[in-house]
Structure 1
Amino acid sequence: MKRQLFVLIAGVAVTLPCVCFAANEEIQVYLDDLSQPGQFGVDVHNNFVISGDSTLPYPGGLAPLHQYRLTPEFYYGLTKTVELGAYLLTTKTSDGQTHFEGEKVRIKYIAPHDSDNGLFWGANLEVGRTNLYASPQAWNAELKGIAGYRSGRWTFAINPNVDWSLSKGGGPVTLDVDGKVAYKVTEKTQIGLETYNELGPLRHLQGLNQNSKTLYLALDHDFGQYDLNAGIGRGLTSDADNWVLKFIIGTHF
């Protein structure tokens, strides 16, 4: 029944009607979660721009307003510290058109640590090939730093992300910094805040009132075999989407 419920939720997400750049395909602060060696998993990333810009971010791009993204992520535990993953990017626009945007692969490392208390750290390298719907450059990469700390019921985490294009003439290397503060209400439920902040070119970082910056009220809940991360985000700058709804459903098998 649980597996059927998961498939049903994912199927409903695909068929949901839709009423600068839209929200990323993956709105998530990376923590220290890692699949066990030989274990497969899947996360279904969903986000919907409730209120945002109705103009095209660039010729051939898609307007953010009422854009819905569905991104299945498949991953596999290679060792006790290394996980491999792959994404399939899809988008549904406000006029009901569905677009396949491309694919990405990643490799994540998490250093050995105490999973209940203290410091954790790692890194995630991602490379993707997408079409014009997703990005003006076909090939792009991201190196994500992962650092966090647990103390009692509190979890703190930060992800400095360096992004660059692998395509010729792809533009400058840029920096994003994402963060999360969560409080464990029960053994299976956490509430907290997540923040996603684009800071501009790495060699010339821009002001806090520039680029996209969004703050989310987030909920994490463990259903046993399944886990949920959901949130509603408010854009803090003129370059950000005004309101975004996101949820991620994951399981291992």
Structure 2
Amino acid sequence: MVRAKGDPMKTCRPAITALCVLSSLVLAPTLAKAAPEEIQVYMDELGPKGGYGLDVHMNYTADGRKAPTYGGEMASDNRWRITPEWAYGLTDNVELGLYLPLATIDNSGKLELGGVKGRIKYIAPRAEGQNWFWGTNFEIGRVRKSYDINPWNAELKAIAGYRAGPWTVAGNLNIGWMVSGPDHTPVSYTLATKVAYAVSDKTSLGIENYNEFADASGVGRLGDRDQQVFAVIDRTMGDWDLNLGVGYGYGAPEDRWVIKAMVGVPFGK
């Protein structure tokens, strides 16, 4: 999303420690679900108070699951997901968001509008020169059966990160749960991480990882879980922002190859 971004800080030893920790998490064996409507590591970007923003999330599963896992589900193979995310700066530290509509195009070319989600994001105030950040995000939404057997689901996201020189490291701990539906799935715990290096003031290269490592029943055997890792580029082009990535699922993934993009549109400017 087109938002003000923090200035890089001087490189220091805590940045190296954070980089090592998050890099190890990137390579940790964990479980990855089918590509959702939004593939993103949340960081400290917020729109200005009273300002509007728009991100358009897109992903394409080039090699995914061929058959549904329950009656009425849309299999992920050769599927497009396109989701506009509308945002409004409620205060200097709180942003409201609306994912509308959640849209998919299946492998036959059929377009389906599948639901809506809302969110509220908080980023803690920072002293000038502080190069670490933290915050939280809560979202809740309703989707059609072709997306999820449970129509109502919610997620609480913890956000943390650190910037030092050209390096940015960030992580999200996501706790997701079913609000209502026929399949009483346990609470899930998902880790998303990002390590990025700025090659210029407008371009950075990085690695993002999205993994479900446990649920309420326990961690289980990590060796049996799936992993998904993305090579990404972030680019600023005038008032537009672009995040583009190619992801590979290894282990026993539902989705083997996924291409994703997030376009920050200068909406409301």
Q: TM-score, normalised by structure 1?
A: 0.88
Counterpart-to-counterpart distance in 2, 1:65 and 1:114 = 47
Query: Is 2:46 aligned against 1:24?
Result: no
Counterpart-to-counterpart distance in 1, 2:211 and 2:84 = 24
- Preserved contact between residue 56 and residue 265 of structure 2 (Cα < 8 Å): no
Counterpart-to-counterpart distance in 2, 1:226 and 1:28 = 17
- Following TM superposition, by how much is the alpha carbon of 1:115 offset from its aligned partner in structure 2, in angstroms? 8.0
Number of aligned residue pairs: 234
- Following TM superposition, by how much is the alpha carbon of 1:21 offset from its aligned partner in structure 2, in angstroms? 5.8
- Residue of 97, 112, 119 corresponding to 2:125: 112
- Residue of 179, 183, 186 corresponding to 2:193: 179
- The corresponding residue for 2:3 is none
- Residue of 70, 85, 88 corresponding to 1:73: 85
1:96–1:116 CA distance, 2 compared to 1 (3 A): farther
- Preserved contact between residue 212 and residue 238 of structure 1 (Cα < 8 Å): yes
Query: Is 2:124 aligned against 1:122?
Result: no
1:62–1:114 CA distance, 2 compared to 1 (3 A): farther
The letter of the residue matching 1:223 is M
RMSD over aligned CA atoms reads 1.6
Unaligned 5+ residue runs, structure 2? 1-31
Counterpart-to-counterpart distance in 1, 2:241 and 2:123 = 20
Counterpart-to-counterpart distance in 2, 1:119 and 1:112 = 11
The higher relative CO (CA closer than 8 Å, separation ≥ 6) is in 2
Counterpart-to-counterpart distance in 2, 1:44 and 1:25 = 10
Query: Is 2:207 aligned against 1:193?
Result: yes
- The corresponding residue for 2:27 is none
Structure 1 counterpart SS, 2:39: coil
Per-residue CA shift, 1:144-186, capped at 9, x if unaligned?
A: 1100001110000000000001105532101110000000000
- The corresponding residue for 1:40 is 52
Counterpart-to-counterpart distance in 2, 1:230 and 1:114 = 31
- Preserved contact between residue 67 and residue 93 of structure 1 (Cα < 8 Å): yes
- Residue of 55, 58, 63 corresponding to 1:51: 63
Unaligned 5+ residue runs, structure 1? 1-19
Counterpart-to-counterpart distance in 2, 1:115 and 1:69 = 39
Counterpart-to-counterpart distance in 2, 1:24 and 1:198 = 13
- Residue of 240, 244, 249 corresponding to 1:226: 240
1:100-249 alignment to 2 at 5 Å? 100-113=113-126, 118-168=131-181, 170-249=184-263
Counterpart-to-counterpart distance in 1, 2:162 and 2:221 = 28
Percent identity, please. 42
The letter of the residue matching 2:38 is E
The letter of the residue matching 2:52 is F
- Preserved contact between residue 33 and residue 212 of structure 2 (Cα < 8 Å): no
Structure 2 counterpart SS, 1:24: coil
- Preserved contact between residue 192 and residue 217 of structure 1 (Cα < 8 Å): yes
Runs of 4+ that moved beyond 3 A: 114-117, 209-212
- Preserved contact between residue 116 and residue 150 of structure 1 (Cα < 8 Å): no
The answer to which of 112-121 and 92-101 deviates more is 112-121
The letter of the residue matching 1:247 is A
- Following TM superposition, by how much is the alpha carbon of 1:117 offset from its aligned partner in structure 2, in angstroms? 5.4
